[in-house]
Amino acid sequence: MHAQQWILLGIIVIGGAAVIGSYIHGIATHAHSASVLWGGTPRVLRLVNIPFMILAAIGFIAFTYYILFRLNPEEVQIADRFDFSIFYVLFALILIPSALWMPLTFSMIAHPSTGLWVGIRLILAEVGITSIALLLALLNLNTNATGLAYWFAISGATAFCIQTFVFDTFLWSAFFLT
């Protein structure tokens, strides 16, 4: 692997550990956390959302694999403007706020406040918008590296966008407090 890929891998490992750690801590320290975290989200929407969560997780793996193992960082140009290092920013802007969502949501449940609710919604919106930016970066790659792995990455990034932008930013946020 190229040095830039190692840097990105480090961001993903540290950020991913923070996300997973926040989820493990949240679930371990809050009884009935699964139902509480859905808030007022209707059951039918939950049943639609759960498969998308799984697709988004698989999608994250697919586009991460493509970026880490199929791209040559020295050749990457995105929209004739950005190089491989843009992925550092995109992954950090997805993973860091994602690690904050569950602790802030449990804080909101315990001590509701308008400021906290606005902060949670801003975090979700930022992750959703950044996931769209990542999809656009993949779609605007100026590289010869495409093929099946590329289309799995695009499909995965699309599923990730649907989860983070549509379900999290809009639907979960709209129903959580109802």
pLDDT band at 35; cut points 50, 70, 90: confident
pLDDT at site 31:
79
- Among 6-15, 25-34, 110-119, 127-136, the minimum mean pLDDT is found in 25-34
In the block, which residue shows the tokens 């799984």? Answer: 54
Give pLDDT tens digits for 2-11: 999 999 999 9
Closest C-alpha among 150, 7, 178 to residue 71: 150
The mean per-residue pLDDT over the stretch 102-131 comes to 96
- CA 84/CA 97 separation, integer angstroms: 22
Q: For the chain, what are the domain ranges?
A: 3-12+57-176
